[in-house]
Amino acid sequence: MIRTYIERGQYLSKIKPFFGKEVIKVITGQRRVGKSYLLFQIMDMVKRFGPKDASIIYINKELHEFDAIGDYRNLLKYIAGKSSGAKRSFVFIDEIQEIGQFEKALRSLQAEGGFDIYCTGSNAELLSGELAGRLSGRYMEIKVFGLSYAEFLRFHKLEDGGDAFLKYIKYGGLPYLINLKLEDDVVYEYLRTIYGTILLKDIVMRHGARNVNFLERLAEFLADNTGSLVSAKRISDFLKSQKTNISPNVVLNYLSFLTSAFLIFKVPRADVSGKKIFEIGEKYYFEDLGIRHAIIGYRHTDINKILENLVFVHLKMSGYKVNVGKLGDREIDFVCEKSGERLYVQVAYLLKDEAARSREFGNLLAIKDNYPKIVVSMDEAAGNGFKGIEQMNVRNFLLRTR
């Protein structure tokens, strides 16, 4: 199998310490973010650095030739036939959630020994329930995102600048876009197809969601309210005003379907002290901005929402746990934690007057600790900061070393 690709080193570096080890590597992420091509890159690592007599077994449940592998028994039978006589087998299973009770097969292969297993999935529930219980401590997750801004520049062979940044925020970071003209009609037609596949395969078919019209309207509502405080009751009340009667419980279920398919992130509010998570009112951000725009259209009037979504996803790519912060009646856009350290981030379009500067810097100044605090904006002259709080241009923030 010959595939050309651009290497995504940040993900390979997470996998390399576990290469050849009998720890199951579970690669998760939204459809079309590049999980399959990451498998190809790992296969090439096997060819270069693995045992000479190792067998490589590849199964892709999106290809018709693997339709017969419908449950764990057929999976084990297929692998046994391909690994016969090999001392070491590297097993790659793409979209493993399409195989019934796959966790039983993984547990059996791990118990048998001699298998280094890599699998991908497009559903967050992959690592819950049976898999987590049966394979506790014997697997690791690698979460794959679309392209970061730095990757977008590299993949599209662009120089950092206003034009390149506009393309990134308009079209998002799905890797396949390098094969298309970066024009609205072309890109959004492709992204609408991906969006439809996510709704059909990862929500309607997987969860049995019957009200497809409501599902689509819910996604539109979240796209229009990106970065706004939302609750199931608020959505339910909005729908009632539109002559649609959906209970808050049903809203919650459908929200969970959208998050489990990696289409959106749910971000809870937390007291800045970290001691209290608020149960009512959270924010939602899209994993890929291009898909958000494919749903409701790209509108420059949404620039504040777009920048906030962009910064949030970058923080998640960088490995931070992120909450929306609450400090009295003040809101901190993002309270981020990683490796026992904190980072506070405020996002604004432009700090064009004293009122805007006072609001964004004032919220951070109210936090009485010594962790880093940053205001991110589109201001080209960003960099002076205020009273120890750093101000950064958004492009510089996205390109800085993580």
Q: 99 falls in which pLDDT band (50, 70, 90)?
A: very high
pLDDT of residue 279: 66
- pLDDT tens, 100-115? 999 899 999 999 999 9
Residue 126 predicted with pLDDT over 90? no
Rounded (10°) angle between helices 212-224 and 232-241: 110
1 vs 398, which has greater pLDDT? Answer: 398
- pLDDT tens, 127-183? 776 566 767 678 899 999 999 999 999 999 999 999 999 999 999 999 999 999 999
- pLDDT tens, 3-41? 789 999 999 999 999 999 989 999 999 999 999 999 999
Please name the residue ranges forming H helices in 63-209: 72-83, 102-112, 130-134, 149-156, 162-171, 184-197, 206-207
What's the CA gap between 202 and 54, in Å, rounded? 34
pLDDT of residue 59: 98
Instruction: Find the range with the poorest average confidence among 20-24, 91-95, 395-399.
Output: 20-24
Distances (CA, A) of 296 to 17, 40, 187, 226, 277: 42, 34, 14, 11, 31
What's the CA gap between 276 and 298, in Å, rounded? 36
pTM over 0.75: yes
**Domains (range + CATH), the chain:** 9-143 (3.40.50.300), 211-399 (no CATH)
Average pLDDT over residues 373-386: 85
Residue 274 predicted with pLDDT over 70? no
Beta bridge partner(s), residue 27: 120, 142
What's the CA gap between 1 and 3, in Å, rounded? 6
Are 300 and 246 a contacting pair, CB within 8 Å?
no
| Stretch (H or E) spanning 266 | strand 264-271
Instruction: Find the range with the poorest average confidence among 42-46, 82-86, 222-226.
Output: 82-86
281 vs 185, which has greater pLDDT? Answer: 185
Instruction: For residue 379, give every residue at least 6 positions away whose Cβ sits within 8 Å of its Cβ, in sequence order, or none.
Output: 350, 351, 391, 393
Instruction: Tell me the DSSP string of 100-122.
Output: BTHHHHHHHHHHH--EEEEEEES
Rounded to 5 degrees, what are φ and ψ at 274? 85, 5
